[in-house]
DNA sequence: GCGCCTCTCGCACACCGTGCGAGAGGTTTT
DNA sequence: AAAACCTCTCGCACGGTGTGCGAGAGGCGC
């Protein structure tokens, strides 16, 4: 047996004898804590308290905190849906997948800080990759192109949503009114008049920043899908 | 004065009297430490030691650790080049930009964990956004489409590279030979025979994983650029 | 009753970010 | 010359963190 990637998914879990506590229960509590208090709010002691147990009890079910995060991460992947590509056509299916992925990430903003640290090797991530592969196969991609298309699409979603999360986080949960927004930008971008002018202009025209972000997301998604379709015809 | 986003870039820095230590020197040391020991390896005490000072001295130049990270983050953006789009054509310029961005991120893998936490409001990021806007304007995009194209392209790069970083990190710096790789996947993906078969097959065919990743990156990039060009013609 | 195996958890260690306040050293004002 | 002040350094301490260790509780087979 050679060297392995260290991950919850590469070692045998402790044989579940279904006692009082279970790994499943712990993961659920972890998700709760992450969603309400964020990545920094998750500590073994707090998690123990929430479970009505000592902090170190958790280490019976899980090797370390990173494994816990891998398990929580896996749950998020489980929330992403990919419609059957046979029915509405691959483009619609894949597009729905992208939107669902974005929604799941925004529901659990702490994933934004995990994607660069933990590989997605959990069963939910793999299952999704498997189904996405099928969709692209059905679309007509062949050989490695299937995997490339796979990677490109998920990359786009990742890349759009992760900065969205950062942006949201930096506002500390409070909605920023337009005036504050412009003021911030005036301070920050004072050496880039073109950029500044654009931002102020856009802010004046479009007040709903959520809608703007969705539009931007849809634009890039359509662009990516157009590109994929073009590659299909080539 | 209304509420602002809290960031190094939205508050006045301490007036530089160019004494012994400077913010610049601190940022350089921070980068060093981050590059050699990673995000977890950076602590105020270690940084102080490297600067030959007490840990809390740093707090004279910087409000808190996050500000330090923002400054380091900004430096990475400064390493990204965008060729003049007038000369080789916008597509080549933008493509070179994407590759340069990827290279900078891989040189400083710790950015992978920051992108989801800190907004890129530093002058280097803004300057790059400004120049990228010019490139897309030159390409023929109009109005909001310029910004959408901007976001889509950088999102793609982010999304490709961030998981690359995670992957690299999870191998703990050691190169994994092919056998271990397959073994890992056999364990992890045993419920997804199609996926598993593909991975083993690909691994057998392509031994150089770096080259594979570059090819995958180039594929998605070309796809995105094709999509953008299509949108330009519409 | 005895041993064993599964599970809990208090304690302790080394580390973290950072608030505070004492002071050093230089410059400016009186 | 002396006093006041301003910039900068940093030791100490506080309340956290992840987690190794070892003592023990509870149930189950002999």
Nucleotide D20 C1' to residue A65 CA (A) = 14
Q: What's the pTM?
A: 0.95
Closest Cβ–Cβ partner in A123, A151, A183 for B216: A151
| Domain-terminating residue out of B21, B48, B79 | B79
**What's the domain range around A59?**
1-79
Chain B positions in Cβ-Cβ contact with residue A187 (cut-off 8 Å): 4, 9-10
Q: Do B169 and A117 touch (CB under 8 A)?
A: yes
Q: Do B151 and A215 touch (CB under 8 A)?
A: no
Q: How confident is the model at residue A129 (pLDDT cuts 50, 70, 90)?
A: very high
Q: Do B155 and A144 touch (CB under 8 A)?
A: no
Q: Do A1 and B118 touch (CB under 8 A)?
A: no
pLDDT in tens, B23-39: 899 999 999 999 999 99
Residues A142 and A89 grouped into a single domain: yes
CA dihedral defined by B128, B130, B131, B137, rounded to 10 degrees?
A: 140
Per-residue pLDDT of chain B (234 residues; tens, 9 = 90+): 456 788 898 887 777 666 567 889 999 999 999 999 999 999 999 999 999 999 999 999 999 999 999 999 999 999 999 999 888 899 999 999 999 999 999 999 999 999 999 999 999 999 999 999 999 999 999 999 999 999 999 999 999 999 999 999 988 766 677 788 888 888 888 899 999 998 888 888 888 889 999 999 999 999 999 999 999 997
Question: Number of folded domains in chain A?
Answer: 2
Residues B92 and B166 grouped into a single domain: yes
Residues 52-111/A with CB < 7 A to strand C: 53-57, 59-61
Strand D contact at CB of residue B137, distance < 7 A: no
Our CA-based measurement puts residue A121 at a distance from the nearest CA of chain B, in whole angstroms, of: 7
| Domain-terminating residue out of A79, A112, A135 | A79
pLDDT in tens, B92-138: 999 999 999 999 999 999 999 999 999 999 999 999 999 999 999 99
Q: Do B112 and A112 touch (CB under 8 A)?
A: no
Region class of B8: left (phi > 0), else alpha (psi between -120 and 50), else beta: alpha
CA distance B149 to A216: 9
Q: Does the pLDDT of residue A16 top 70, yes or no?
A: no
CA distance B9 to B134: 23
Nucleotide D22 C1' to residue B175 CA (A) = 37
Residues B73 and B57 grouped into a single domain: yes
Residues A134 and A66 grouped into a single domain: no
The pair of three-digit structure tokens given for residue B174, joined into one six-digit string: 């050691």
CA distance A200 to A224: 28
Q: What are phi and psi of A143, to 5 degrees?
A: 60, -135
Residues A31 and A13 grouped into a single domain: yes
| For B187, nearest residue in chain A (alpha carbons) | A10
CATH number reported for the structural domain that contains residue B38 in this entry: 1.10.10.60
| Domain-terminating residue out of A57, A79, A101 | A79
Strand D nucleotides where any atom sits below 7 Å of a protein CB: 7-12, 16-22
CATH number reported for the structural domain that contains residue B152 in this entry: 1.10.357.10
Distances (CA, A) of A220 to A184, B57, B145, B186, B225: 26, 45, 10, 35, 11
For chain A, the distance separating the N- and C-terminal CA atoms, rounded to the nearest angstrom, is 44
Residues B74 and B111 grouped into a single domain: no
CA distance A69 to A75: 10
Nucleotide C15 C1' to residue B40 CA (A) = 12
Q: Does the pLDDT of residue A24 top 70, yes or no?
A: yes
């Amino acid at each position: 047996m050679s060297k392995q990637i260290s991950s919850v998914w590469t070692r045998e879990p402790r044989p579940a004898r279904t006692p009082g506590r279970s790994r499943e229960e712990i993961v659920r509590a972890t998700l709760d804590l992450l969603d309400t208090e964020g990545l920094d709010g998750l500590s073994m002691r707090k998690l123990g308290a929430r479970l009505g147990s000592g902090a170190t009890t958790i280490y019976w079910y899980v090797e370390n905190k990173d494994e816990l995060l891998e398990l929580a991460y896996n749950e998020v992947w489980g929330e992403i849906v990919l419609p059957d590509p046979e029915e509405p056509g691959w483009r619609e299916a894949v597009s729905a997948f992208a939107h669902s992925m974005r929604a799941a990430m925004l529901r659990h903003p702490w994933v934004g800080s995990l994607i660069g640290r933990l590989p997605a090797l959990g069963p939910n991530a793999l299952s999704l990759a498997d189904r996405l592969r099928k969709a692209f196969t059905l679309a007509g991609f062949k050989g490695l192109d299937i995997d490339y298309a796979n990677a490109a699409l998920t990359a786009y979603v990742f890349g759009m949503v992760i900065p969205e999360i950062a942006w949201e986080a930096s506002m500390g949960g409070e909605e920023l009114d337009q005036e504050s927004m412009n003021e911030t930008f005036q301070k920050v971008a004072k050496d880039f008049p073109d950029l500044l002018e654009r931002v102020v202009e856009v802010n004046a025209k479009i007040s709903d920043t959520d809608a703007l972000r969705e539009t931007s997301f849809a634009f890039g998604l359509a662009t990516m899908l157009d590109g994929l379709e073009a590659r299909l015809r080539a």
